């Protein structure tokens, strides 16, 4: 686009014949383009040095290529911090095997493992507001320090008693806060108009760590025992801390606005806000029906191997977030949310009626594709709804509702499968997501994407 050279200030309206109309024309142009006196263009969040065809001192053309956006040092360090923090978290997936030596009841093992998720769910919204006020890098470091203090105490666990419960609860507080803070820090380091895409890439880091962590834990147990698990978890926390310290956080231009949440209550009916809050809950419940029951369904259907389902699921989720994760940024959140949920719902209907093993594996890919698109679009919608100044609170609320859905959905869908079988369960899960997404699409406001 050729540059158009314009003066920084309008020509004088008097003194020289013919400049009066030019001065008034410049003022109209300035108002139309939202130009301040120095000629730069204003966007939501402050002045932008992007030229849009106007040449002036210090003005540069905006470039948003993938290499310029996401290969920067600080964004990469943030993703590494999340990766190693997630590795430290996933090593404890095998903690029930450590507890077996004490011969606890299954309910006791469930309590020890469940209190971790419960505390993480409860504390996230509270600490989300603190992250918005204090800054994500600072809270990330503090939460990692808390994990650093707690992890060595697992060497002292000699029973499935109160010490194990307390340590898991404290780890839940540290991890629940850390995950939200790192996500907010990484999204702050990405361009404002690539919010959904950046959230998708952040999710990729977590997906890879979730796949690597349990496999690594098995190897560590084989060679070093469970003490090696605790030591390696500690090492990963330290590496994550180093990555966070190396990040240069962007200057914060805004702070959490508590009054904005009250304005939402006045602006939108409670029913609309309730529908928006239910969406992450339903998303988590439906995701749990796939993750927690698909292996049992596969074996019940006579399939010898179910691992390919999870492999294709993860591969599709990664490809969707990396390749087309910016669709919600380009076309709008709601435009992506409904088709993504529709893909998941139709896929659940297919699972309910399929018979062949090939279809079973293909369903894993389709499920990952839908999930890979829905998570960044829906989480970005909540951020837009509550405002960018409340980003950490929005992420904390989304992840807490999602995890609550995972926890509540498992017994619900387990009860349905006991009554009517897995096929009916998946049909009900698909209908649930389709109905609530349709309601969300009709009733929820269409929000403008802030650039």
Has residue 382 got a pLDDT over 60? yes
CA-CA-CA-CA dihedral for 211, 212, 214, 220, to nearest 10: 170
pLDDT of the residue at 62: 40
pLDDT of the residue at 432: 94
Q: pLDDT tens for residues 338-373?
A: 999 999 999 999 998 888 889 989 998 999 999 889
- pLDDT-derived band at 33 (thresholds 50, 70, 90) equals very low
Has residue 13 got a pLDDT over 70? no
Which of 38-42, 291-295, 348-352 is predicted with the least confidence, judged by mean pLDDT? 38-42
Q: pLDDT tens for residues 121-178?
A: 888 888 888 888 888 899 999 999 999 999 999 999 988 888 999 999 999 899 989 9
Residues 369-394 have a mean pLDDT of 88
CA-CA-CA-CA dihedral for 236, 147, 172, 223, to nearest 10: 40
Cα–Cα distance for residue pair 137/146, rounded to 1 Å:
14
pLDDT of the residue at 196: 85
Which helix (DSSP H) or strand (DSSP E) does residue 212 occupy? helix 195-246
Cα–Cα distance for residue pair 324/200, rounded to 1 Å:
9
Q: pLDDT tens for residues 64-115?
A: 444 444 447 788 888 999 999 999 988 888 888 888 888 888 778 878 888 8
Q: pLDDT tens for residues 232-241?
A: 999 999 999 9
- Other Cβ atoms closer than 10 A to 442: 9
Has residue 230 got a pLDDT over 90? yes
Give Cα 294 to chain centroid, integer Å. Answer: 23
Cα–Cα distance for residue pair 30/37, rounded to 1 Å:
8
CB-CB contact of 365 with 313 (8 Å): yes
Q: Looking at per-residue confidence, does 79 or 387 come out higher?
A: 79
CB-CB contact of 160 with 99 (8 Å): yes
Has residue 375 got a pLDDT over 70? yes
Which tokens hold the place of 22? 């030019």
Write the secondary structure of 112-144 as one string of H (helix), E (strand) and C (coil): HHHHHHHHHHHHHHHHHHHHHHHCHHHHHHHHH
Of 106, 130, 98, the closest CA to residue 233 belongs to 98
pLDDT of the residue at 327: 87
- pLDDT-derived band at 388 (thresholds 50, 70, 90) equals confident
pLDDT of the residue at 152: 93
Which tokens hold the place of 354? 């399929």
Cα–Cα distance for residue pair 347/312, rounded to 1 Å:
14
- β-pairing, 41-43 vs 46-48, is antiparallel
Cα–Cα distance for residue pair 25/37, rounded to 1 Å:
14
Looking at the chain, the whole-number percentage of residues with pLDDT higher than 90 is 24
- pLDDT-derived band at 417 (thresholds 50, 70, 90) equals confident
Of 352, 354, 328, the closest CA to residue 340 belongs to 328
**Would you call 30 exposed, middle or buried from its count of C-beta atoms within 10 A (0-12, 13-18, 19+)?**
middle
pLDDT of the residue at 55: 38
For residue 240, what are the CA distances in angstroms to 222, 396, 413? 25, 20, 37
Residues 412-433 have a mean pLDDT of 89
Residues 207-225 have a mean pLDDT of 86
Helix residue spans in 34-105 (DSSP H): 66-70, 73-90, 95-99
Cα–Cα distance for residue pair 285/351, rounded to 1 Å:
17
Sign of the dihedral defined by the CA atoms of residues 379, 381, 382, 386, in that order: positive
Cα–Cα distance for residue pair 147/175, rounded to 1 Å:
7
For residue 104, what are the CA distances in angstroms to 108, 111, 113, 158? 6, 11, 13, 12
| pTM, rounded to two decimals | 0.74
Q: Looking at per-residue confidence, does 270 or 6 come out higher?
A: 270
Cα–Cα distance for residue pair 401/261, rounded to 1 Å:
17
Q: Looking at per-residue confidence, does 442 or 9 come out higher?
A: 442
Has residue 431 got a pLDDT over 90? yes
Arithmetic mean of pLDDT over the chain:
80
Has residue 37 got a pLDDT over 70? no
pLDDT of the residue at 155: 92
Name 42's bridge partners: 47
Which helix (DSSP H) or strand (DSSP E) does residue 419 occupy? helix 391-420
Q: Which residue has the tokens 């969040």?
A: 45
Residues 316-323 have a mean pLDDT of 88
Phi/psi at 42 (5° precision) = -95, 135
Which helix (DSSP H) or strand (DSSP E) does residue 260 occupy? helix 258-267
Domains defined along the chain, listed by start? 4-55 (no CATH), 70-246 (1.20.1250.20), 258-443 (1.20.1250.20)
pLDDT of the residue at 433: 94
Has residue 438 got a pLDDT over 70? yes
pLDDT of the residue at 211: 80
Residues 274-297 have a mean pLDDT of 86
pLDDT of the residue at 1: 43
- pLDDT-derived band at 270 (thresholds 50, 70, 90) equals confident
SS3 100: helix
CA-CA-CA-CA dihedral for 366, 428, 410, 383, to nearest 10: 60
pLDDT of the residue at 67: 45
Q: What is the largest CA-CA distance in the chain?
A: 97
CB-CB contact of 99 with 164 (8 Å): yes
Has residue 294 got a pLDDT over 60? yes
- pLDDT-derived band at 260 (thresholds 50, 70, 90) equals low
pLDDT of the residue at 31: 53
Residues 426-437 have a mean pLDDT of 93
Give Cα 405 to chain centroid, integer Å. Answer: 15
């Amino acid at each position: 686009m050729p540059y158009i050279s314009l003066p920084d200030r309008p020509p004088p309206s008097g003194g020289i014949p013919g400049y009066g109309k030019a001065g008034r024309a410049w003022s109209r142009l300035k108002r139309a383009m939202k130009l301040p006196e120095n000629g730069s263009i204003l966007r939501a969040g402050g002045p932008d040095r992007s030229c849009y065809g106007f040449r002036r001192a210090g003005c540069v053309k905006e470039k948003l290529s993938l290499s310029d956006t996401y290969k920067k040092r600080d964004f990469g360090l943030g993703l590494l911090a999340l990766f190693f923090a997630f590795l430290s978290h996933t090593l404890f997936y095998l903690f029930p095997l450590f507890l077996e030596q004490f011969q606890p009841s299954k309910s006791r093992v469930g309590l020890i493992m469940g209190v971790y998720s419960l505390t993480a769910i409860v504390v996230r919204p509270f600490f989300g507001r603190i992250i918005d006020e204090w800054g994500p890098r600072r809270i990330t470091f503090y939460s990692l320090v808390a994990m650093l203090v707690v992890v060595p105490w697992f060497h002292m666990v000699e029973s499935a008693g109160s010490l194990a419960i307390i340590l898991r609860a404290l780890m839940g507080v540290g991890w629940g806060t850390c995950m939200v803070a790192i996500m907010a820090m990484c999204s702050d380091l990405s361009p404002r108009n690539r919010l959904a895409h950046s959230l998708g890439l952040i999710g990729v880091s977590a997906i890879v760590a979730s796949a690597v962590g349990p496999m690594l834990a098995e190897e560590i147990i084989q060679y070093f025992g469970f003490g090696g698990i605790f030591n390696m978890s500690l090492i990963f926390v330290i590496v994550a801390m180093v990555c966070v310290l190396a990040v240069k956080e962007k200057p914060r231009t805004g702070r959490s606005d508590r009054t904005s949440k009250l304005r939402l209550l006045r602006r939108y009916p409670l029913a609309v806000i309730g529908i928006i809050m239910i969406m992450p809950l339903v998303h988590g419940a439906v995701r749990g029906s796939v993750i927690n029951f698909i292996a049992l369904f596969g074996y019940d259907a006579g399939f010898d191997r179910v691992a390919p389902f999870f492999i294709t699921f993860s591969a599709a989720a990664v490809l969707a977030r990396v390749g087309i994760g910016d669709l919600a940024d380009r076309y709008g959140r709601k435009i992506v949310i409904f088709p993504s949920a529709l893909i998941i719902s139709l896929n659940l209907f297919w699972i309910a009626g399929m018979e062949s093993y090939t279809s079973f594996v293909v369903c894993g890919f389709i499920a990952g594709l839908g999930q890979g698109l829905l998570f960044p679009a829906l989480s970005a919608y909540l951020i837009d709804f509550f405002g960018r100044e409340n980003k950490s609170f929005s992420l904390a609320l989304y992840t807490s509702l999602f995890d609550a859905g995972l926890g509540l959905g498992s017994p619900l869908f387990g009860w349905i499968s006991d009554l009517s079988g897995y096929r009916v369960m998946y049909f009900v899960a698909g209908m649930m997501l389709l109905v609530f997404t349709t309601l969300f699409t009709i009733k929820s406001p269409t929000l403008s994407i802030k650039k």
